[in-house]
């Protein structure tokens, strides 16, 4: 009897260790995928900024002769596809598989994985559409926006994966009062970065030579200038919403939300300064890329903040 009891204890211990290792692998894979997709989005914006979007005129493959006609940094578009296909693709499948395997321990993360599938399919289709549409501004904007939504879905799954498992959930779920404000600022950040992609791909970056207004005017502007001012108005709106998010999170007892909200509003301030510097410097390439990279980063930060508030109302730090 003692031998059987000890054997059952040992088997249970091995099973627990295996389950913990499986969850830890899922957490790190989801985090790695979020980082890779963020970097892929930044590379995509670099392709756009250098006007290399049509250096591979075919889809999904990149014809060999097109590699010899690139301008700007060489092989940007082919590198973008290389990372998207052989690297991000298999990693995404691995994360989806791990979400399914860990669906009992982390049911919220498993449900969130369905959003990854939907946005991934849309993003692949839009990648082809941008080529067939010769990278016109609407297709580029749609591709970037869907990329941000795909990134958001992966970030949410990663945040939920690092949250407490079903066995570790505390009894009861208290609603976080700041959540509606975080929805607002996250959606505002998404709209702003989408409009920024449209302005950039349309060549409207310098239609307004002044800052913060458009050469002294705020309203009644023709479309090229109106598009630029719409982007700026959305950016000012994000800053206003970011202030509200800081106030709302500081009224809660969640120190993690308060800290992330402060980091996020700092990124919003940096983004506005980068926008002004781009206008003053007549759109230098490095500043344009910094503007795009920081836009994706501040949006990602608000997605993390929203995910922790909305889906982990009693979150606490966990070890892998």
pLDDT tens track for 43-84: 888 887 777 666 666 666 665 554 444 444 445 666 777 778
For range 17-41, the mean pLDDT: 91
* Average pLDDT score over the chain: 85
Beta bridge partners, 217, equal 214
Mean pLDDT of 73-97: 79
Instruction: Grade residue 16 by pLDDT with cuts at 50, 70 and 90.
Output: low
165 and 238 share one domain: no
Q: Give the pLDDT score at 72.
A: 42
- Percentage of the chain beyond pLDDT 70 is 81
Indicate the residue among 117, 145, 169 that finishes a domain. 169
Rounded mean pLDDT, 170-187: 80
Same domain as 114, residue 220: no
What per-residue string of b and e applies to 153-182 under the rule 16 or more CB within 10 Å gives b? Answer: bbbbbbbbbbbbbeeeeeeeeeebebbebb
pLDDT band at 176 (very low <50, low <70, confident <90, very high): confident
Among 169, 191, 210, the domain boundary falls at 169
- Same domain? For 8 and 43 the reply is yes
**Distance of alpha carbon 240 from alpha carbon 245, whole angstroms:** 9
Would you tell me how many other CB atoms lie within 10 Å of the CB of residue 38?
20
Which comes out higher in pLDDT, residue 201 or 154?
Answer: 154
pTM of the model: 0.86
Q: What local confidence, expressed as pLDDT, does residue 73 receive?
A: 43
Q: Does 246 lie in the same domain as 145? A: no
Residues 141 and 191 in one domain: no
Percent of all residues in the chain with a pLDDT value above 90, rounded to a whole number: 59
Model pLDDT, residue 86: 80
Chain segment 152-161, per-residue pLDDT in tens = 999 999 999 9
Interval 215-228 mean pLDDT:
87
Q: What is the rounded distance in angstroms from the CA atom of residue 145 to the CA atom of residue 149?
A: 6
Residue 216 pLDDT level (bands cut at 50, 70, 90): confident
Whether residue 139 contacts residue 126, with contact meaning beta carbons closer than 8 Å, is answered with yes
Asked whether residue 150 falls in the same domain as residue 177, the answer is no
Mark whether 203 and 134 lie in a shared domain: no
For residues 17 and 51, membership in a common domain is answered with: yes
Tokens of 193: 């970065």
Summarize the confidence of residues 113-139 as an average pLDDT: 92
Res 44: pLDDT: 85
Q: Which of 107, 137, 169 lies at the terminal end of a domain, its last residue? A: 169
DSSP annotation of 73: S
Sequence-distant (6+) residues with CB within 8 A of 119 are 146, 149, 150, 153
**Which range of residues forms the domain containing residue 176?**
172-320
At 320 the pLDDT is 45
Nearest-10 Cα torsion for 166, 172, 173, 174: -150
Q: What angle do CA 158, 160, 164 make, to 5 degrees?
A: 130
Looking at the structure, tell me whether residues 126 and 162 fall in a common domain: yes
What is the reported pLDDT for 28? 95
What confidence tier does 128 reach under pLDDT thresholds 50, 70, 90? Answer: confident
Clarify whether residues 195 and 139 are in a common domain.
no
Report the SS3 class of residue 214. Answer: strand
Domain count, the chain: 2
């Amino acid at each position: 009897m003692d031998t059987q009891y000890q054997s059952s204890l040992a088997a249970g211990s091995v099973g627990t260790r295996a389950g913990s290792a499986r969850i830890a692998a899922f957490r790190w894979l989801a985090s790695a995928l979020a980082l890779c997709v963020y970097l892929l989005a930044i590379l995509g914006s670099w392709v756009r900024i250098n006007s290399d979007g049509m250096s591979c005129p075919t889809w999904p493959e990149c014809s060999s002769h097109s590699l010899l006609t690139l301008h700007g940094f060489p092989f940007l578009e082919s590198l973008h596809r290389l990372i998207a296909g052989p690297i991000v693709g298999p990693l995404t499948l691995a994360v989806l598989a791990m979400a399914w395997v860990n669906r009992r321990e982390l049911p919220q993360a498993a449900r969130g994985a369905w959003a990854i599938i939907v946005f991934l399919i849309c993003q692949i289709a839009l990648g082809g559409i941008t080529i067939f549409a010769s990278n016109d501004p609407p297709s580029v904007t749609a591709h970037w926006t869907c990329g941000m939504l795909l990134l958001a879905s992966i970030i949410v799954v990663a945040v939920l994966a690092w949250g407490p498992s079903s066995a570790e959930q505390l009894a009861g779920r208290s609603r976080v009062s700041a959540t509606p404000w975080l929805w607002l600022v996250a959606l505002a950040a998404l709209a702003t970065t989408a409009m920024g992609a449209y302005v950039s791909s349309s060549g409207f970056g310098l239609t307004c030579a002044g800052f913060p207004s458009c050469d002294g005017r705020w309203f009644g502007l023709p479309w090229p200038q109106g598009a630029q001012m719409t982007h700026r108005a959305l950016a000012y709106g994000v800053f206003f919403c970011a202030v509200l998010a800081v106030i709302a999170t500081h009224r809660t007892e969640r120190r993690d939300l308060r800290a992330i909200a402060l980091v996020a509003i700092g990124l919003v301030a940096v983004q506005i300064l980068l926008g002004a510097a781009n206008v003053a410097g007549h759109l230098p390439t490095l500043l344009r890329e910094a503007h795009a990279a920081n836009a994706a980063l501040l949006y990602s930060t608000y997605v993390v903040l929203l995910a922790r508030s909305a889906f982990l109302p009693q979150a606490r730090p966990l070890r892998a």
